[in-house]
A and B are shown apart, each in its own frame.
Chain A
Amino acid sequence: MKGQRTAALAGVVATLGALAFVQEGDTPQESPDAAAETAAVEPDPRAQPIAFPHDIHAGEFGIDCQYCHFSAERSVDAGIPPVATCQGCHLVVQGRNNPEEVAKVRDYAQRQEAIPWVRIYKVSDHVRFPHMRHVAPDESGEPLVQCQECHGPVQEMAVIEAVNQPLSMGWCVQCHVERDVSRDCAVCHY
């Protein structure tokens, strides 16, 4: 907010420079890597509290996305698994690669504490993105949109990151145009 105002202030001096902002909304968000570089000395605030490997869970074991992200089908939010869900398997599964990370899960469970996952995906607050409408099955029973179409090949990611998609309006609209679904503003903005 303040940043925008400062920018606006600069605009008083060079109002016509506004066109430079044309692509503002479409600038990809800073990638986690770039952030990691700048914060090399201090512990990376974007580092996940537990090195959860999506590639092993979703890729190798082929666990369904909605097993953990349990409310995607019926809610606007996809849902983050409660510790109990993790614990459900990891009570017995020791974790062959990284037992120390799995141990962390148990610690959280023991302490009855929530795992402070770092949020990777967030649409702006003035946008409503109902997961349920996007993963709802089409006539053939397949989800209208595969999770990977927006979230990338999560099943191949050792560390989750936002890939290939800027979460910008142009990106959303592009898909809505291609699929010939509503482009009415008040479908997402209200």
Chain B
Amino acid sequence: MATATEAPRGAVAHPDVGSYQQVNEDVLKILGRPGRGWWILFGLASLGLAVFAGSWANQIINGIGLSGLNSPIGWGAYITTFVFWVGIAHSGTLISAILFLFRAPWRQAVYRLAEAMTVFAVMTAGLFPLIHVGRVWHAYWLIPYPNSRFLWPNFKSPLVWDVFAVTTYFTVSAVFFYLGTIPDLAAARDQARGLRKKFYSVVSLGWRGTDSEWHHFGKAYIFLAALATPLVLSVHSVVSWDFAMGIVPGWHATIFAPYFVAGAIFSGVAMVITLAVPMRKFFGLEAYLTNKHFDALAKLCLLTSLIVLYAYLTEFFMAWYSGEPPERGVFWNRVFGPYWWATWTMLVCNGMVPILLWFKRVRRSIAALFVISIFVNIGMWFERFVIIVTSLSHEYEPFAWGMYRPSITEMGIVLGSFGWFCFWFLLFTRLLPPVAIAELKEVLPAPLRSRARKEAVR
């Protein structure tokens, strides 16, 4: 990429950005002393984190019974939230890896943000299976390790696949994320002083920006992008198999993998918008995150929304077409049963509200996008809730049908997990350049390139 001689085709112009130097200053100034707003947000996030940790600790001490789960409905808000965060984690790699491989240069302004979101979202998601199990102190039994008992995990179980999928995804996306930040960390190092300087010196691994470094960097980056790309598809496919491999009516469907992947990207892109809009505002990044970027994100959102909507309709059609009473029953119950509100929330938020994105004016309106993205976030949480809870509540045995209501502990943990996520994300905004400096420079007008290069390696 460093060898490009002009801005790639399709790159988004940044007419307000004057020079490479300005890029450095604009982005790196975010890393300076945090303002009051940041501290307030950080305080809120820490509070959420405390609620999260407190609720979980309480649950470990007193028992998983503190959740609202029960006999037919063994999975509820925790697994819903697990899938939700895994889904959020998707857009990061999609934007950075797949769009990189497909040479969609508009990604450059948002990919750092998206990648950070990915890493933190996987970190959040990974906690939920632990929160969920009845005996978390034995959860390590899911890891295959040699032991004297001659016992291994059951490799047939999708939950074991989950362990592999999520840890792999976390590892690769974390490495990918870190790799991409190295040049920017070096840039930050060059501007920082004192303790910060030491920190950036260590984490930037002595990056000097030489040709050979850029060369290797590029190779490694494209290699990792290629490695990460199939993971985007596989992770959520595996997560979807948690359900599709079950025989629960409403879960046992072949479309689950693509359906979940599309849903994941949908929710992930929405979350990127949700995070990017306030960041742009607070950090004054209007020049870098332009309407055009949001327009592109919105288009991606629209596309995946349509796929998801199509999947919904397919599910209903297949349930009807199968002629099986349990299948039909569960889908009828989804729409008209006691959980109708969840289903309709899902359908409205994910299938109907995004229709507005057909209009260019909406796509170009940051405020409208922000609102729509919130709707999508809510809708996608409810999508998982609907799939998990309504299916389990209305299975084969009519005698054993049941209802479920999340408990205070569950709500504390679910909402607290946003605190945990924001905690890391806010730290990220202060410690790492939230917009990729080096890559942004690539899309700036060519005449400035040579000077910028010098500055970058200074």
Residues of chain A touching chain B, judged by Cβ–Cβ distance below 8 Å, are 4-5, 7-9, 11-12, 15, 18-19, 21-23, 25-26, 168-171, 173-174, 177, 183
Looking at chain A's contact residues, the main secondary structure is: helix
B335 located at the interface, meaning its Cβ lies under 8 Å from any Cβ of chain A in the complex: no
B321 located at the interface, meaning its Cβ lies under 8 Å from any Cβ of chain A in the complex: no
Q: CB-CB < 8 A to B56: which residues of A?
A: 12
Interface residue ranges of B130-184 to A (CB < 8 Å): 130, 136-137, 139-140, 143, 145, 147-150
Tell me if B150 and A11 are in contact (CB < 8 A): no
Q: Which residue of A lies closest to B150 (CB)?
A: A173
Contact A26 to B140, CB < 8 A, known contacts A8-B60, A12-B53, A12-B57: no
Q: CB-CB < 8 A to A4: which residues of B?
A: 137
Interface residue ranges of B328-386 to A (CB < 8 Å): none
Q: CB-CB < 8 A to B140: which residues of A?
A: 18-19, 21-22
Tell me if B149 and A169 are in contact (CB < 8 A): yes
Tell me if B137 and A5 are in contact (CB < 8 A): yes
Tell me if A170 and B130 are in contact (CB < 8 A): no
B127 located at the interface, meaning its Cβ lies under 8 Å from any Cβ of chain A in the complex: yes
A18–B142 Cα distance when bound, in Å, is: 11
Contact of A170 among B61, B137, B139, B148 (CB under 8 A): B148
Contact A19 to B145, CB < 8 A, known contacts A8-B136, A11-B137: yes
CB distance from B46 to the nearest CB of A (A): 15
Q: CB-CB < 8 A to B149: which residues of A?
A: 25, 169-170, 173
Tell me if B143 and A19 are in contact (CB < 8 A): yes
Q: Which of B60, B61, B130 has the most CB of A within 10 A?
A: B60
Q: CB-CB < 8 A to A25: which residues of B?
A: 147-149
Tell me if A12 and B60 are in contact (CB < 8 A): yes
- In addition to A11-B137, A170-B149, A171-B148, 18 A-B residue pairs with Cβ atoms within 8 Å of each other are A4-B137, A5-B60, A5-B61, A8-B60, A8-B136, A8-B137, A12-B57, A15-B127, A18-B139, A18-B143, A19-B143, A19-B145, A25-B147, A168-B148, A169-B148, A170-B148, A173-B148, A177-B150
A174–B149 Cα distance when bound, in Å, is: 8
Tell me if A9 and B145 are in contact (CB < 8 A): no
CB distance from B206 to the nearest CB of A (A): 28
Number of B residues near A (Cβ < 8 Å) is: 17
Q: CB-CB < 8 A to A170: which residues of B?
A: 147-150
Contact A15 to B150, CB < 8 A, known contacts A5-B137, A7-B137, A22-B145: no
Contact A9 to B60, CB < 8 A, known contacts A18-B139, A19-B140: yes
25 contacts between A and B (CB under 8 A): A4-B137, A8-B60, A8-B137, A9-B57, A9-B61, A11-B136, A11-B137, A12-B57, A12-B60, A15-B127, A18-B139, A18-B143, A19-B143, A19-B145, A22-B145, A22-B147, A25-B147, A25-B148, A25-B149, A168-B148, A169-B148, A170-B148, A170-B149, A173-B149, A177-B150
Residues of chain B touching chain A, judged by Cβ–Cβ distance below 8 Å, are 53, 56-57, 60-61, 127, 130, 136-137, 139-140, 143, 145, 147-150
Q: CB-CB < 8 A to B53: which residues of A?
A: 12
A111–B395 Cα distance when bound, in Å, is: 64
Q: CB-CB < 8 A to B130: which residues of A?
A: 15
A48–B326 Cα distance when bound, in Å, is: 64
Tell me if A23 and B60 are in contact (CB < 8 A): no
CB distance from A84 to the nearest CB of B (A): 42
A48–B424 Cα distance when bound, in Å, is: 58
Q: Which residue of A lies closest to B130 (CB)?
A: A15
CB distance from B122 to the nearest CB of A (A): 14
CB distance from A95 to the nearest CB of B (A): 43
Q: CB-CB < 8 A to B61: which residues of A?
A: 5, 9
Q: CB-CB < 8 A to B145: which residues of A?
A: 19, 22
A168–B147 Cα distance when bound, in Å, is: 12
CB distance from B344 to the nearest CB of A (A): 36
A22–B138 Cα distance when bound, in Å, is: 10
Q: CB-CB < 8 A to B136: which residues of A?
A: 8, 11
A8–B145 Cα distance when bound, in Å, is: 19
CB distance from B136 to the nearest CB of A (A): 5
Q: CB-CB < 8 A to B147: which residues of A?
A: 22-23, 25-26, 170
Tell me if A174 and B148 are in contact (CB < 8 A): yes
Tell me if B148 and A26 are in contact (CB < 8 A): yes
A181–B272 Cα distance when bound, in Å, is: 58
Q: Which of A7, A8, A19 has the most CB of B within 10 A?
A: A8
- Nearest 6 A-B pairs (CB), nearest first? A170-B148, A18-B140, A8-B137, A169-B149, A4-B137, A26-B148
Q: CB-CB < 8 A to A171: which residues of B?
A: 148
Q: Which residue of B lies closest to A170 (CB)?
A: B148
Q: Which residue of B lies closest to A177 (CB)?
A: B150
Q: CB-CB < 8 A to B127: which residues of A?
A: 15
CB distance from B32 to the nearest CB of A (A): 31
A183–B57 Cα distance when bound, in Å, is: 37
Q: CB-CB < 8 A to A183: which residues of B?
A: 150
